[in-house]
Structure 1
Amino acid sequence: MSKKPQPLTGKELLKKVKKLGDVSREEKAIECGYYTLSGKQKRVSMVKFLNALIEAEGISLDNDATTETKKRGRSANYRINVQSNGNLSIGKAYTDKMGLKPGDEFEVVLGRKNIHLKQVEEE
């Protein structure tokens, strides 16, 4: 029994799809290797096929996030809420973005409708 070939990607995928012309999407997917074998039956992997086509065309549906933003955890949305005990908690996303370390000190400056944190410089 022969081994199933690797699915086509990139320019090879685009060439093959163009060459296949008017055949159905499912048949194109099978011809390009986007299927799995379940017994003697072929199951078409349409999502993988269409994603490979989109990628081969150079279209990125994902935002091109850096590895820093792909880390686990929440991203900074620049809004915080007052907690039930009256505290304001500034999360790790903000302190990492500013390059702050444990022990860094700030002066709290209260405005009419805002709060400013002014970093205390080391002497």
Structure 2
Amino acid sequence: MDDSAIEAVSAGTPLTGKALLQKVKELAHLAKRETAKQCGYVKTSSSGGVRTDLSGFYDAVLSAKGVKLDETSRDSRGKVATYKATVHKNGQLLIGSAYTKGMGLKEGDVFTIKLGYKHIHLIQED
């Protein structure tokens, strides 16, 4: 590994690209957590504890190998709106809060339901 890669790890900057792949190959005898630490993939918590950032490490290794990840597919807190709705067994159609929040709707808003051939229109009343 070159001197710039050694300086990056000691400065707390995680390795990326070819330098990361070379370091991973050199540390193949270590456990994956220790390899990630040696490559600079650690995070400090608000309480001062240090933990290994395995997710960031794996993402960086895949990126260095040329595997492109879709950022929207990563886990996130909460659900992402799919813009689909399903009719339940009791015949009701539920529209989730993600859609109503996205439209700026609030409790008590009233709509007129207008049925079309293959669609339903919700027309907000003033």
TM-score scaled by structure 2? Answer: 0.50
2:113 alignment partner in structure 1: 108
C-alpha deviation, 1:34, in angstroms: 2.7
Deviations 1:45-71 (A, max 9, x none): x98655345668xx9735158xxx944
> Does the CA-based 8 Å contact 1:17-1:28 persist in structure 2?
no
Matched, 1:90 2:95: yes
> Does the CA-based 8 Å contact 1:107-1:120 persist in structure 2?
yes
Q: Secondary structure of the residue that 2:91 maps to in structure 1? A: coil
Note the residue ranges of structure 2 that are not aligned, 5 or more in a row.
1-8, 38-53
Whichever of the two has the greater Rg, that structure is 1
TM-score scaled by structure 1? Answer: 0.51
> Does the CA-based 8 Å contact 1:34-1:49 persist in structure 2?
no
C-alpha deviation, 1:102, in angstroms: 0.8
Matched, 1:117 2:125: no
Q: What amino acid maps onto 1:85 in structure 2?
A: N
> Does the CA-based 8 Å contact 2:21-2:61 persist in structure 1?
no
Aligned length: 97
Give the percent of matched residue pairs that are identical in Structure 1 and Structure 2.
34
The structure with more helix, counted as a fraction of residues: 2
Note the residue ranges of structure 1 that are not aligned, 5 or more in a row.
37-45
Q: Alignment RMSD, CA only?
A: 4.2
Q: What amino acid maps onto 2:25 in structure 1?
A: E
C-alpha deviation, 1:10, in angstroms: 4.9
